[in-house]
A and B are shown apart, each in its own frame.
Chain A
Amino acid sequence: MEYKIREAKREDMPAALELIKELAAYENASEQVEIYVSDLEHEGFDEGNFKCFVAEVNNKIEGMALVYFRFSTWKGRTLHLEDLIVRESMRGTGLGGALYKRVVKYGHENSVKRVEWVVSEGNKNAQEFYENTGADIKKNWYTVHMDETGIQKNID
Protein backbone atom coordinates (compact mmCIF):
# COMPACT_ATOMS: atom_id res chain seq x y z
CA MET A 1 0.00 0.00 0.00
CA GLU A 2 1.24 3.45 -0.83
CA TYR A 3 1.32 6.06 1.88
CA LYS A 4 3.10 9.25 2.71
CA ILE A 5 4.34 10.41 6.12
CA ARG A 6 4.54 14.18 6.30
CA GLU A 7 4.34 17.07 8.74
CA ALA A 8 0.76 18.00 9.52
CA LYS A 9 -0.72 21.25 8.29
CA ARG A 10 -3.34 23.36 9.98
CA GLU A 11 -5.92 21.93 7.55
CA ASP A 12 -5.23 18.41 8.86
CA MET A 13 -6.45 19.18 12.38
CA PRO A 14 -10.08 18.09 11.86
CA ALA A 15 -8.80 14.67 10.75
CA ALA A 16 -6.30 14.62 13.65
CA LEU A 17 -9.09 15.31 16.15
CA GLU A 18 -11.16 12.54 14.57
CA LEU A 19 -8.30 10.12 15.28
CA ILE A 20 -7.87 11.47 18.83
CA LYS A 21 -11.56 10.81 19.43
CA GLU A 22 -11.27 7.35 17.91
CA LEU A 23 -8.51 6.51 20.40
CA ALA A 24 -10.52 7.96 23.30
CA ALA A 25 -13.55 5.87 22.29
CA TYR A 26 -11.32 2.79 22.14
CA GLU A 27 -10.21 3.58 25.70
CA ASN A 28 -13.85 4.12 26.77
CA ALA A 29 -13.06 7.73 27.56
CA SER A 30 -14.87 9.71 24.87
CA GLU A 31 -16.17 12.27 27.34
CA GLN A 32 -12.59 13.07 28.38
CA VAL A 33 -11.78 14.84 25.11
CA GLU A 34 -12.21 18.52 25.92
CA ILE A 35 -10.37 20.08 22.99
CA TYR A 36 -11.64 21.38 19.67
CA VAL A 37 -10.18 21.67 16.20
CA SER A 38 -9.57 25.38 16.85
CA ASP A 39 -7.47 24.50 19.96
CA LEU A 40 -5.28 22.17 17.93
CA GLU A 41 -4.91 24.77 15.18
CA HIS A 42 -3.99 27.53 17.61
CA GLU A 43 -1.76 25.51 19.97
CA GLY A 44 0.05 23.66 17.23
CA PHE A 45 0.41 26.27 14.54
CA ASP A 46 0.26 29.71 16.22
CA GLU A 47 1.86 28.79 19.54
CA GLY A 48 4.07 25.92 18.39
CA ASN A 49 3.24 23.84 21.47
CA PHE A 50 3.46 20.55 19.58
CA LYS A 51 4.47 19.02 16.29
CA CYS A 52 2.22 16.62 14.43
CA PHE A 53 2.99 14.09 11.71
CA VAL A 54 0.32 12.43 9.60
CA ALA A 55 0.10 9.31 7.47
CA GLU A 56 -1.75 9.97 4.23
CA VAL A 57 -3.23 7.32 1.96
CA ASN A 58 -5.10 8.34 -1.20
CA ASN A 59 -5.23 11.92 0.09
CA LYS A 60 -6.87 10.83 3.30
CA ILE A 61 -5.35 11.12 6.80
CA GLU A 62 -5.29 7.61 8.23
CA GLY A 63 -2.84 8.04 11.09
CA MET A 64 -1.10 10.64 13.18
CA ALA A 65 1.66 11.11 15.75
CA LEU A 66 1.83 14.13 18.03
CA VAL A 67 5.02 15.11 19.85
CA TYR A 68 6.54 17.97 21.84
CA PHE A 69 9.74 18.69 23.70
CA ARG A 70 10.22 18.13 27.39
CA PHE A 71 13.14 18.84 29.67
CA SER A 72 14.94 16.29 31.81
CA THR A 73 17.01 17.71 34.67
CA TRP A 74 19.37 14.78 34.19
CA LYS A 75 19.69 14.69 30.41
CA GLY A 76 18.46 18.01 28.98
CA ARG A 77 15.97 18.28 26.13
CA THR A 78 13.87 15.19 25.34
CA LEU A 79 11.05 14.47 22.92
CA HIS A 80 7.71 13.22 24.19
CA LEU A 81 5.38 11.18 21.99
CA GLU A 82 1.91 12.00 23.27
CA ASP A 83 -0.22 10.05 20.77
CA LEU A 84 0.34 7.69 17.88
CA ILE A 85 -2.91 6.62 16.28
CA VAL A 86 -3.77 4.64 13.16
CA ARG A 87 -7.39 4.41 12.04
CA GLU A 88 -8.74 1.02 13.01
CA SER A 89 -9.52 -0.02 9.44
CA MET A 90 -5.90 0.70 8.47
CA ARG A 91 -4.08 -1.25 11.18
CA GLY A 92 -1.45 -3.75 10.08
CA THR A 93 -0.56 -1.84 6.93
CA GLY A 94 2.75 -0.42 8.20
CA LEU A 95 1.46 3.08 8.90
CA GLY A 96 2.10 2.86 12.64
CA GLY A 97 5.66 1.65 12.18
CA ALA A 98 6.33 4.42 9.67
CA LEU A 99 4.99 7.11 12.01
CA TYR A 100 7.00 5.65 14.89
CA LYS A 101 10.16 5.77 12.84
CA ARG A 102 9.44 9.35 11.76
CA VAL A 103 9.12 10.38 15.41
CA VAL A 104 12.42 8.78 16.42
CA LYS A 105 14.05 10.41 13.39
CA TYR A 106 12.63 13.79 14.42
CA GLY A 107 14.09 13.29 17.91
CA HIS A 108 17.42 12.43 16.37
CA GLU A 109 17.35 15.46 14.04
CA ASN A 110 16.74 17.66 17.07
CA SER A 111 19.57 16.04 19.06
CA VAL A 112 17.42 15.09 22.02
CA LYS A 113 18.82 12.73 24.61
CA ARG A 114 15.79 10.49 24.51
CA VAL A 115 12.30 9.95 23.16
CA GLU A 116 9.68 9.01 25.73
CA TRP A 117 6.02 8.11 26.01
CA VAL A 118 3.67 6.07 28.19
CA VAL A 119 2.06 2.70 27.61
CA SER A 120 -0.83 1.05 29.36
CA GLU A 121 0.34 -1.70 31.69
CA GLY A 122 -2.05 -4.19 30.09
CA ASN A 123 -0.92 -3.53 26.51
CA LYS A 124 1.68 -6.30 26.25
CA ASN A 125 1.76 -6.21 22.43
CA ALA A 126 2.80 -2.59 22.37
CA GLN A 127 5.32 -3.14 25.17
CA GLU A 128 6.91 -5.97 23.25
CA PHE A 129 7.09 -3.85 20.10
CA TYR A 130 8.75 -0.99 22.00
CA GLU A 131 11.28 -3.28 23.63
CA ASN A 132 12.13 -4.82 20.27
CA THR A 133 12.96 -1.34 18.98
CA GLY A 134 15.36 -0.74 21.88
CA ALA A 135 13.14 1.23 24.27
CA ASP A 136 13.02 0.57 28.01
CA ILE A 137 9.77 0.12 29.91
CA LYS A 138 9.97 1.71 33.36
CA LYS A 139 7.42 -0.14 35.42
CA ASN A 140 8.35 1.59 38.67
CA TRP A 141 7.35 5.13 37.69
CA TYR A 142 3.72 6.03 38.18
CA THR A 143 2.00 8.92 36.45
CA VAL A 144 0.30 11.47 38.72
CA HIS A 145 -2.41 13.86 37.50
CA MET A 146 -3.98 16.73 39.35
CA ASP A 147 -7.04 17.97 37.47
CA GLU A 148 -8.75 21.35 37.66
CA THR A 149 -10.69 20.39 40.76
CA GLY A 150 -7.49 19.34 42.52
CA ILE A 151 -5.72 22.49 41.38
CA GLN A 152 -8.52 24.67 42.72
CA LYS A 153 -8.51 22.82 46.04
CA ASN A 154 -4.83 23.70 46.53
CA ILE A 155 -5.27 27.34 45.67
CA ASP A 156 -8.16 27.98 48.07
Chain B
Amino acid sequence: MEFKIRKATPEDMPAVLELIQELAEFEKEPDAVIISAEDLKKDGFGANPAFTCFVAEADGNIEGMALCYFRYSTWKGKTVHLEDLVVRESMRGKSLGNALYTRVIEFAKEQGVKRTEWVVLDWNTHARDFYSRSGATVFTDWCTVQMDENAMDRFLKKESR
Protein backbone atom coordinates (compact mmCIF):
# COMPACT_ATOMS: atom_id res chain seq x y z
CA MET B 1 0.00 0.00 0.00
CA GLU B 2 1.22 3.46 -0.77
CA PHE B 3 1.41 6.00 1.97
CA LYS B 4 3.34 9.10 2.84
CA ILE B 5 4.81 10.14 6.20
CA ARG B 6 4.96 13.92 6.57
CA LYS B 7 4.88 16.68 9.15
CA ALA B 8 1.34 17.58 10.17
CA THR B 9 -0.21 20.93 9.32
CA PRO B 10 -2.89 22.75 11.34
CA GLU B 11 -5.48 21.46 8.84
CA ASP B 12 -4.69 17.89 9.89
CA MET B 13 -5.70 18.47 13.52
CA PRO B 14 -9.36 17.34 13.25
CA ALA B 15 -8.15 14.00 11.82
CA VAL B 16 -5.44 13.81 14.47
CA LEU B 17 -8.02 14.37 17.21
CA GLU B 18 -10.12 11.55 15.74
CA LEU B 19 -7.13 9.23 16.13
CA ILE B 20 -6.45 10.47 19.68
CA GLN B 21 -10.06 9.61 20.55
CA GLU B 22 -9.71 6.20 18.93
CA LEU B 23 -6.63 5.49 21.06
CA ALA B 24 -8.39 6.61 24.26
CA GLU B 25 -11.14 4.10 23.49
CA PHE B 26 -8.55 1.35 22.93
CA GLU B 27 -7.05 2.26 26.32
CA LYS B 28 -10.50 1.98 27.91
CA GLU B 29 -10.72 5.68 28.78
CA PRO B 30 -13.20 7.02 26.19
CA ASP B 31 -14.13 10.07 28.30
CA ALA B 32 -10.62 11.20 29.12
CA VAL B 33 -10.11 13.37 26.04
CA ILE B 34 -11.03 16.97 26.83
CA ILE B 35 -8.87 18.63 24.20
CA SER B 36 -10.32 20.14 20.99
CA ALA B 37 -8.95 20.37 17.44
CA GLU B 38 -8.69 24.13 18.03
CA ASP B 39 -6.45 23.52 21.08
CA LEU B 40 -4.21 21.29 18.98
CA LYS B 41 -3.97 23.95 16.26
CA LYS B 42 -3.19 26.66 18.77
CA ASP B 43 -0.68 24.66 20.84
CA GLY B 44 1.15 22.78 18.12
CA PHE B 45 1.87 25.49 15.60
CA GLY B 46 3.13 29.06 15.50
CA ALA B 47 6.16 30.63 17.14
CA ASN B 48 6.52 28.37 20.15
CA PRO B 49 4.93 25.00 19.36
CA ALA B 50 4.32 22.62 22.29
CA PHE B 51 4.74 19.52 20.09
CA THR B 52 5.76 18.15 16.69
CA CYS B 53 3.28 15.91 14.90
CA PHE B 54 3.84 13.52 12.01
CA VAL B 55 1.02 11.96 10.01
CA ALA B 56 0.67 8.93 7.74
CA GLU B 57 -1.40 9.74 4.68
CA ALA B 58 -2.92 7.14 2.36
CA ASP B 59 -5.21 8.10 -0.55
CA GLY B 60 -5.45 11.63 0.79
CA ASN B 61 -6.68 10.45 4.24
CA ILE B 62 -4.83 10.73 7.53
CA GLU B 63 -4.63 7.13 8.76
CA GLY B 64 -2.03 7.46 11.47
CA MET B 65 -0.15 9.97 13.56
CA ALA B 66 2.77 10.32 15.96
CA LEU B 67 3.03 13.25 18.34
CA CYS B 68 6.23 14.09 20.21
CA TYR B 69 7.93 16.91 22.10
CA PHE B 70 11.15 17.60 23.95
CA ARG B 71 11.81 16.79 27.55
CA TYR B 72 14.89 17.42 29.65
CA SER B 73 16.84 14.76 31.49
CA THR B 74 19.20 15.98 34.21
CA TRP B 75 21.44 13.05 33.26
CA LYS B 76 21.30 13.14 29.46
CA GLY B 77 20.11 16.62 28.48
CA LYS B 78 17.40 17.14 25.89
CA THR B 79 15.34 14.06 24.99
CA VAL B 80 12.43 13.40 22.63
CA HIS B 81 9.23 12.12 24.22
CA LEU B 82 6.80 10.20 22.03
CA GLU B 83 3.41 10.97 23.53
CA ASP B 84 1.15 9.13 21.08
CA LEU B 85 1.52 6.90 18.07
CA VAL B 86 -1.84 5.88 16.63
CA VAL B 87 -2.83 4.02 13.47
CA ARG B 88 -6.51 3.78 12.55
CA GLU B 89 -7.75 0.31 13.46
CA SER B 90 -8.80 -0.55 9.90
CA MET B 91 -5.27 0.29 8.73
CA ARG B 92 -3.24 -1.77 11.19
CA GLY B 93 -0.73 -4.30 9.90
CA LYS B 94 0.17 -2.23 6.86
CA SER B 95 3.40 -0.91 8.36
CA LEU B 96 2.14 2.65 8.85
CA GLY B 97 2.95 2.34 12.54
CA ASN B 98 6.44 1.17 11.86
CA ALA B 99 7.05 4.01 9.41
CA LEU B 100 5.82 6.58 11.95
CA TYR B 101 7.96 4.98 14.67
CA THR B 102 11.05 5.17 12.47
CA ARG B 103 10.24 8.77 11.55
CA VAL B 104 10.14 9.76 15.24
CA ILE B 105 13.49 8.10 15.89
CA GLU B 106 14.94 9.85 12.83
CA PHE B 107 13.61 13.12 14.20
CA ALA B 108 15.36 12.41 17.52
CA LYS B 109 18.58 11.70 15.67
CA GLU B 110 18.26 14.89 13.62
CA GLN B 111 17.81 16.84 16.84
CA GLY B 112 20.90 15.25 18.38
CA VAL B 113 19.16 14.00 21.52
CA LYS B 114 20.57 11.16 23.59
CA ARG B 115 17.25 9.44 24.23
CA THR B 116 13.77 8.86 22.85
CA GLU B 117 11.22 7.87 25.47
CA TRP B 118 7.56 6.99 25.92
CA VAL B 119 5.29 4.93 28.15
CA VAL B 120 3.46 1.67 27.51
CA LEU B 121 0.57 -0.01 29.34
CA ASP B 122 1.62 -3.10 31.29
CA TRP B 123 -0.94 -5.36 29.55
CA ASN B 124 0.14 -4.34 26.06
CA THR B 125 2.70 -7.14 25.72
CA HIS B 126 2.57 -6.99 21.93
CA ALA B 127 3.80 -3.39 21.95
CA ARG B 128 6.34 -4.10 24.71
CA ASP B 129 7.87 -6.92 22.68
CA PHE B 130 8.03 -4.72 19.61
CA TYR B 131 9.82 -1.95 21.56
CA SER B 132 12.32 -4.36 23.11
CA ARG B 133 13.10 -5.92 19.73
CA SER B 134 13.75 -2.48 18.27
CA GLY B 135 16.40 -1.76 20.90
CA ALA B 136 14.41 0.11 23.56
CA THR B 137 14.36 -0.81 27.25
CA VAL B 138 11.08 -1.19 29.16
CA PHE B 139 11.46 -0.17 32.82
CA THR B 140 8.94 -2.01 34.96
CA ASP B 141 10.23 -0.45 38.19
CA TRP B 142 9.20 3.18 37.61
CA CYS B 143 5.62 4.31 38.23
CA THR B 144 4.02 7.40 36.73
CA VAL B 145 2.57 9.84 39.26
CA GLN B 146 -0.05 12.40 38.30
CA MET B 147 -1.68 15.19 40.26
CA ASP B 148 -4.64 16.55 38.32
CA GLU B 149 -6.17 20.05 38.41
CA ASN B 150 -8.61 19.30 41.21
CA ALA B 151 -5.96 17.65 43.34
CA MET B 152 -3.64 20.62 42.73
CA ASP B 153 -6.35 23.02 43.90
CA ARG B 154 -7.08 20.97 46.99
CA PHE B 155 -3.40 20.59 47.84
CA LEU B 156 -2.64 24.29 47.49
CA LYS B 157 -5.70 25.29 49.52
CA LYS B 158 -4.78 22.90 52.31
CA GLU B 159 -1.16 24.09 52.31
CA SER B 160 -2.08 27.76 52.48
CA ARG B 161 -4.22 27.32 55.60
Bin the interface of chain A by size.
35 or more
Q: Does A90 contact B (CB under 8 A)?
A: no
Question: Are A148 and B115 in touch, CB under 8 angstroms?
Answer: yes
Q: How far is the CA of A134 from the CA of B143 in the complex (A)?
A: 16
Q: List residues 119-136 of chain B with CB under 8 A from any CB of chain A.
A: 119-123, 128, 131, 134-136
Bin the interface of chain B by size.
35 or more
Contacts of B69 in A (CB 8 A): 70-71
Q: Does A2 contact B (CB under 8 A)?
A: no
Contacts of B114 in A (CB 8 A): 34, 147-148
Residue in contact with B148 in the complex, picked from A76, A113, A151, CB distance below 8 Å: A113
Q: How far is the CA of A76 from the CA of B34 in the complex (A)?
A: 8
Main secondary structure of the interface of A (DSSP, over half): mixed
Closest to A83 in B: B74
Question: Are B72 and A66 in touch, CB under 8 angstroms?
Answer: yes
Contacts of B121 in A (CB 8 A): 140-142
Q: How far is the CA of A138 from the CA of B142 in the complex (A)?
A: 10
Q: Does A1 contact B (CB under 8 A)?
A: no
Closest to B141 in A: A121
Q: Does A45 contact B (CB under 8 A)?
A: no
Question: Are A144 and B138 in touch, CB under 8 angstroms?
Answer: yes
Question: Are A145 and B117 in touch, CB under 8 angstroms?
Answer: yes
Question: Are A118 and B109 in touch, CB under 8 angstroms?
Answer: no
Residue in contact with B74 in the complex, picked from A35, A71, A119, A138, CB distance below 8 Å: A35
Closest to A36 in B: B77
Q: How far is the CA of A114 from the CA of B155 in the complex (A)?
A: 12
Q: Does A133 contact B (CB under 8 A)?
A: yes
- Whole-angstrom distance between the Cβ of B143 and the nearest chain A Cβ: 5
Question: Are B72 and A43 in touch, CB under 8 angstroms?
Answer: yes
Q: How far is the CA of A75 from the CA of B40 in the complex (A)?
A: 11
Q: How far is the CA of A55 from the CA of B74 in the complex (A)?
A: 18
The interface of chain B, by Cβ under 8 A from chain A, is: 20, 23-24, 29, 32-35, 39-40, 43, 50-51, 67, 69-78, 81, 83-84, 101-102, 105-106, 108-109, 114-123, 128, 131, 134-149, 151-156, 159
A-B contact pairs, 5 of them (CB 8 A): A20-B74, A114-B147, A146-B135, A151-B108, A154-B135
